């Protein structure tokens, strides 16, 4: 259990299909945590791939290694009292469970949206390219996504607002004593 100035660190792992809303919810949670003066760091899968895991492909082995590296950084931060928000597709259940076991202080957030909704939201056109065969091994099209079996939080972004989803995540942090409800309420007033 990581602490800094008496505060426990934790990794909040947002997993779901591309376009499900992981980054959107994570940014909202980050905004509220910063407003409440909590130490927070975001690790977005796309940004990590450009910097920390550049050169890894999209085979199962490379995807697992990508998640291990993100998990390693998240563990370093969270054991030092930082709230780490990870937004990564992380399609395979086994590697998510491996990272959870290593970190310990871990909240899994399943950002759940049906495939057709994610395809409608796809501003980069990646799903269309995958459907045309221009991208191989695309999660949800020709590579599997294994949903969490018992996530601490499930956000149904096809039927709930992003602010409501973020509220669920904050409630999970409060209920597990990673943040104080009073501090979060004070921070919300400043937003």
pLDDT in tens, 24-46: 999 999 999 999 999 999 998 77
- Residue 60: predicted pLDDT: 83
Predicted confidence (pLDDT) at residue 187 exceeds the cutoff of 60: no
pLDDT in tens, 116-169: 999 999 888 889 888 998 988 889 898 999 999 999 999 999 999 999 999 999
- Residue 124: predicted pLDDT: 85
Catalytic residues: 90
- Residue 59: predicted pLDDT: 76
CB-count exposure of residue 160 (10 Å: 0-12, 13-18, 19+): middle
- Residue 20: predicted pLDDT: 95
Question: What residue ranges in 6-105 does DSSP mark as E strands?
Answer: 7-8, 10-15, 40-44, 83-87
- Residue 45: predicted pLDDT: 78
Mean pLDDT, range 2-22, rounded to an integer: 85
- For position 151, which CATH number holds? 3.40.50.300
Contact 166, 28 (CB under 8 A): yes
Query: Cα(69)–Cα(178) distance, rounded to whole angstroms?
Result: 24
In a domain, 166, yes or no: yes
pLDDT in tens, 31-89: 999 999 999 999 987 777 776 666 677 778 888 888 999 999 999 999 999 999 999 99
- Residue 135: predicted pLDDT: 86
pTM > 0.85: yes or no: yes
Number of domains forming the structure of the chain: 1
Confidence of residue 173 (pLDDT cuts 50, 70, 90): very high
* Residues spanned by the domain of 25: 7-190
131-135: long-range contacts at Cβ-Cβ below 8 A with a sequence spacing of 24 or more? none
In a domain, 2, yes or no: no
In a domain, 184, yes or no: yes
Confidence of residue 115 (pLDDT cuts 50, 70, 90): very high
In a domain, 36, yes or no: yes
User: 56: which residues sit within 8 A by CB, 6+ positions away?
Assistant: 49, 62, 63, 65, 66
């Amino acid at each position: 259990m990581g602490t800094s100035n008496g505060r426990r660190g934790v990794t909040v792992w947002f997993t779901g299909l591309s376009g499900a809303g992981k980054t959107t919810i994570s940014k909202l949670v980050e905004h509220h945590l910063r407003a409440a003066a909590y130490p927070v760091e975001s690790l977005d899968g796309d940004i990590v791939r450009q910097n920390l895991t550049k050169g890894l492909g999209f085979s199962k082995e490379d995807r697992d290694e990508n998640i291990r590296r993100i998990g390693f950084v998240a563990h370093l931060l969270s054991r030092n009292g930082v709230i780490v928000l990870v937004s990564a597709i992380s399609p395979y259940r086994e590697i998510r469970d491996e990272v959870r076991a290593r970190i310990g202080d871990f909240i899994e957030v399943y950002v759940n949206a049906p495939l057709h909704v994610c395809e409608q939201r796809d501003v980069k056109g990646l799903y269309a390219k995958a459907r045309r065969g221009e991208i191989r091994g695309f999660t949800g099209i020709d590579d599997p996504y294994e949903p969490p079996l018992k996530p601490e939080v499930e956000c149904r972004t096809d039927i709930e607002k992003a602010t409501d989803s973020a509220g669920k995540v904050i409630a999970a942090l409060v209920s597990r004593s990673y943040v104080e409800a009073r501090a979060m309420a004070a921070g919300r007033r400043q937003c």
